[in-house]
Amino acid sequence: MLKMANQSAGVAPQQVDAALRSFSLRAEANAQPRLFEADDALAQAPATRVDLVRLQGRSYTRYVNEFWTSRQRGGHSLHEISYRACFKAELPRFFLSVLLRQADGALVYDPFMGRGTTLLEAALAGARVAGNDANPLSEILLRPRLEPPEATEVARRLEMLRLDDTPPPADMDLSMFYAPGTLRQLLNLREYLRVRRSHQAEDAVDRWIRMVATNRLSGHSTGFFSVYTLPPNQAVSPERQREINTRRKQTPPERDVKGIILKKTRSLLRRLTAPERQRLQQAARTVLLMQDDAGNTPRLADDSVDLVITSPPFLNTVQYAQDNWLRCWFNHLDAASIARRITVTSSLEQWRDFIGQVMHELYRVVRPGGWVAFEVGEVRGGTLNLDEIVAPLGEAAGFVCAGIAVNSQQFTKTANCWGVENNTRGTNTNRIVLLWKEPA
Ligand SMILES: C[S@@+](CC[C@H](N)C(=O)[O-])C[C@H]1O[C@@H](n2cnc3c(N)ncnc32)[C@H](O)[C@@H]1O
């Protein structure tokens, strides 16, 4: 039986249950009710389906609905940085509103932050934030978006850079991706950023330029520095790129590196309001960013976190470091040593051990009355639901599992067809295990 949390301890499991069962109740329980009132799709959504699932001799409640609708470019423009296996901003946005009484002053943490979707969304809402990722690229991608410069400052800094001078020699052949003039500009920019960093002279504008350039290294349109390549930001190997060039009969075209950086800067900043900028700056002043193993984060204090919203590496073979080799090259990071620190396993046993350790660490850092929203997916063609592994692991670490929220987004709405159990095509499913640290 779940105990009722006292008011100061935050949102109680009963309130979360009510919020998930009913949109109107959820609107009351949440700190930003207008978020939901404004969204026609949610207002018209059918009631939540509630199932009882038996796992390891215990019943868990599963709530199925289209709790949020992920749309292309639906979140804040500042999120528009691609990263392998990132979740959409709507996911943390939903749980921030359901699991926090109020964002102001709360500490929100993501132990597997990736591009930092949770941290950015939480900071935009006024929360304090902390993040961790074994891949140092995460910090490069997130920190500058917590301290965004004005586009005019970026333009002025770019104007000062002499990117067409003779560059330092290239340490590898990148001619299959870049035209000679583009590579010259990139090598000069890379060297400028290296020197600024090594002289500890790097400022927020430099960090912003580094982040945008890192994001524009490879892709499929003229908005990227490279010749056409797919998928964006998961650089294929040089050999594979040569094959793509031969098949498409293409040679890398010259690109204007400064122009592309400025255009992407304006696009990222296009929805940023003055109050949001202030909230981000406030979060940047206290942010804690770590590059530890998620199962061992000693810099984060016991009982300090109000809400964790996260998604671990799934049980598969996504090679985050290898996908990012070009981004690592640009930032003088050693992709091979990063790869050794990133957990990649297709063994269910190993994955279970790893998540078990992470759960114990999360139990240590979450404060009594605090919450964890732990997102996992279906793997092995939908035959294995990782939420069913994660919920008992969370309980073994000391949490109370208040339920599993399944967001089933349908591309074509069909009455009474959720497509969750039978894995129907045309659905996009997130499974989020909700864990509560019961006050003593
Ligand atoms: C599914 S992604 C998270 C994406 C994130 N939710 C976002 O929106 O960008 C998982 C992340 O876990 C990181 N990771 C993998 N193993 C890790 C470990 N042992 N400790 C910390 N981070 C790890 C990867 O580098 C990757 O960024």
Looking at the fold, whether 286 and 422 belong to one and the same domain comes out as yes
Query: Per the domain annotation, does 145 fall within a domain?
Result: no
Segment 304-333, tens digit of pLDDT: 999 999 999 987 666 666 778 999 999 999
Pocket test of ligand 1: the residue of 84, 93, 133, 359 to mutate, having most ligand atoms within 8 Å of its CB, is 133
435 or 29: which carries more pLDDT confidence? Answer: 435
Query: Per the domain annotation, does 2 fall within a domain?
Result: no
Q: What percent of the chain has pLDDT over 70?
A: 86
Looking at the fold, whether 122 and 164 belong to one and the same domain comes out as no
C-alpha 283 to ligand 1 mean position (Å): 21
Contact 124, 152 (CB under 8 A): no
Q: Of the ranges 12-16, 163-167, 335-339, 425-429, which one carries the lowest mean pLDDT score?
A: 425-429
Query: What's the angle, vertex CA 239, arms to CA 238 and CA 244, rounded to 5?
Result: 95
Backbone torsion region of residue 230, taken as left when φ is above 0, otherwise alpha when ψ lies between -120 and 50, otherwise beta: beta
Which of 223, 249, 268 is where one domain is finished? Answer: 268
Looking at the fold, whether 12 and 115 belong to one and the same domain comes out as yes
Which of 223, 246, 268 is where one domain is finished? Answer: 268
C-alpha 390 to ligand 1 mean position (Å): 16
Segment 184-203, tens digit of pLDDT: 999 999 999 999 999 999 99
Order of all β-strands in the sheet with 107-110: 49-55, 58-65, 400-410, 427-436, 366-376, 305-310, 107-110, 128-132, 288-290
C-alpha 312 to ligand 1 mean position (Å): 6
Looking at the fold, whether 365 and 289 belong to one and the same domain comes out as yes
Query: Per the domain annotation, does 179 fall within a domain?
Result: yes
Looking at the fold, whether 202 and 237 belong to one and the same domain comes out as yes
Pocket test of ligand 1: the residue of 289, 342, 432 to mutate, having most ligand atoms within 8 Å of its CB, is 342
Quick one: tokens of 341?
Answer: 């620190």
409 pLDDT higher than 90: no
Residue whose CA lies nearest to ligand 1 atom number 25: 135
Q: Give yes or no for residue 85 CB within 6 A of ligand 1.
A: yes
Looking at the fold, whether 211 and 312 belong to one and the same domain comes out as no
Looking at the fold, whether 286 and 420 belong to one and the same domain comes out as yes
What integer is the mean pLDDT of 337-343?
A: 86
Query: Per the domain annotation, does 300 fall within a domain?
Result: yes
Supply the pTM of this predicted model. Answer: 0.90
Cα-Cα end-to-end distance for the chain:
14
Ordered DSSP codes for 371-383: EEEEEE-EETTTT
Q: Which amino acid is at 417?
A: C
Looking at the fold, whether 262 and 298 belong to one and the same domain comes out as no
28 pLDDT higher than 60: no
Looking at the fold, whether 256 and 180 belong to one and the same domain comes out as yes
What integer is the mean pLDDT of 91-100?
A: 94
Query: Per the domain annotation, does 1 fall within a domain?
Result: no
Segment 38-70, tens digit of pLDDT: 344 444 456 788 999 998 888 999 999 888 877
Max Cα distance, the chain (Å): 70
Q: Give yes or no for residue 119 CB within 6 A of ligand 1.
A: no
C-alpha 213 to ligand 1 mean position (Å): 21
Number of domains in the chain: 2
Domain interval for residue 174? 151-268
C-alpha 343 to ligand 1 mean position (Å): 8
> What is the Cα gyration radius of the chain?
22
Distance CA 225, CA 245 (A): 15
Which of 224, 239, 268 is where one domain is finished? Answer: 268
Looking at the fold, whether 109 and 222 belong to one and the same domain comes out as no
Q: Give yes or no for residue 134 CB within 6 A of ligand 1.
A: yes
CATH number of the domain within which 122 lies:
3.40.50.150
Looking at the fold, whether 290 and 230 belong to one and the same domain comes out as no
Query: Per the domain annotation, does 146 fall within a domain?
Result: no
Q: Give yes or no for residue 325 CB within 6 A of ligand 1.
A: no
Query: Per the domain annotation, does 327 fall within a domain?
Result: no
C-alpha 339 to ligand 1 mean position (Å): 12
Distance CA 94, CA 409 (A): 14
Looking at the fold, whether 420 and 276 belong to one and the same domain comes out as yes
Query: Per the domain annotation, does 401 fall within a domain?
Result: yes
